[in-house]
Amino acid sequence: MMRNDHLQRLVFEEINARCIWVQLDAVTREVLTRGDYPPVVADLLARALLVAATMSSGIKFDGRITLQLQSNGPLSLLMADCDHDGGVRGIARVREGAELPATATALFEELAADGTLALTVEPARHGRRWQGIVPLEGASLEQALESYFRQSEQLPTRFRLAFDGDRASALMIQKIPGETADEDGWNRLQHLADTLGEQEMLASEGEEVLRRLFHAEERRVFPARDLHFHCPCTRDRVAAVLQGLGQEELEALAAEQEIVEVRCEFCNQGYRFDQVDLAALIQGDAPGDSPTVH
């Protein structure tokens, strides 16, 4: 079944709660094919991509939200982000020579032993960067996120994440602060979310799942928003990073290599800087238009 990548938002006004549904099949495949990830790492990264896309529903300005997991274990970093326009990307870093466990559940347990979870909201231009960091808690990414919102935001939240190696879907329900006209409504929503199986999430379109799940609830449905793979790296940004190395290190690079190629970790795209470009960077100028792969 061909499914389009999108985010769907619902609001239950009488219950004072919201629901986010995300389908992320093509984006997940794009991210995973750009990195040579072991299956257990790919599984966790796919779920992180779903979370980043889900969290982007709360961005009301031009900017980006990032989910980041870090630990001293074999998986040192897991990162996924999504911008206001639905552009999603992600990356995972495995320590060299590290032995990975056999299952994604066991991998998360190793992460949680000393790991942290961070959510960062960053405006694209002006505005204040915000970040919340908590220890990783729970036996899964879903439980860790529910704990995060309970501790940091005081917002009761439930997550359901599903990935089968090809398709990826997420459901989030969240209580909104304020009085409610339906005292039992939040309990009903949680019960309904618990009835949703992973296979059902992956086999059906989101519109069908949400209609079947919440057909008896009063809800307001907002227009769906498309999601797509996007990495904002540019040649100018890479040049700025190279200039940040300093004149001495740039001169050493130019002496060692005729052409310096830098690859973006997120999208694996390459940017080439020849001797003329490097000389311009050493002088503090912008490089010219030499061949670039992107």
245-278 per-position pLDDT tens digit: 888 888 888 888 888 888 877 877 788 888 888 8
Q: What percent of the chain has pLDDT over 70?
A: 96
Q: Are residues 65 and 129 in the same domain?
A: yes
Cβ-Cβ contacts under 8 Å for 77 (sequence gap 6 or more): 68, 69, 70, 91, 92, 93
Average pLDDT estimate for 161-167: 94
Residue 234 CB coordination number (10 Å): 14
pLDDT at 292 (0 to 100)? 40
pLDDT band at 242 (very low <50, low <70, confident <90, very high): confident
pLDDT surpassing 60 at residue 288: no
Domain that includes residue 37, residue range: 6-229
Average pLDDT estimate for 106-112: 91
In a domain, 294, yes or no: no
CB 271 within 8 A of CB 294: yes
* Residue 158 φ/ψ region, left for φ over 0, alpha for ψ in the -120 to 50 degree band, beta for the rest: beta
d(CA 149, CA 45): 20
pLDDT band at 289 (very low <50, low <70, confident <90, very high): very low
In a domain, 77, yes or no: yes
d(CA 3, CA 6): 9
Structure tokens that stand for 152 in this block: 């940091």
Q: What percent of the chain has pLDDT over 90?
A: 60
pLDDT at 205 (0 to 100)? 87
pLDDT at 100 (0 to 100)? 93
Q: Are residues 257 and 201 in the same domain?
A: no
Cβ-Cβ contacts under 8 Å for 246 (sequence gap 6 or more): none
Q: Are residues 187 and 254 in the same domain?
A: no
- Say which CATH number the domain at 13 has: 3.55.30.10
d(CA 147, CA 198): 21
d(CA 198, CA 196): 7
CB 56 within 8 A of CB 86: yes
d(CA 67, CA 57): 14
Pick 9 or 279 by higher pLDDT: 9
Q: What is the mean pLDDT of the chain?
A: 89
Residue after which a domain boundary falls, among 207, 229, 251 = 229
Dump pLDDT digits (tens) for 45-69: 999 999 999 999 987 788 899 999 9
Q: Are residues 259 and 149 in the same domain?
A: no
- Cβ density class 240-273: b for 16+ within 10 Å, e for less: eebbeeeeeebeebbeeeeebebebbbbebebeb
Q: Are residues 163 and 112 in the same domain?
A: yes
CB 27 within 8 A of CB 47: no
pTM of the model: 0.86
Q: What stretches of 196-246 show up as alpha helix (H) in DSSP?
A: 198-203, 206-214, 235-243
d(CA 120, CA 65): 6
d(CA 8, CA 171): 10
pLDDT band at 284 (very low <50, low <70, confident <90, very high): confident
Count of the separate structural domains present in the chain: 2
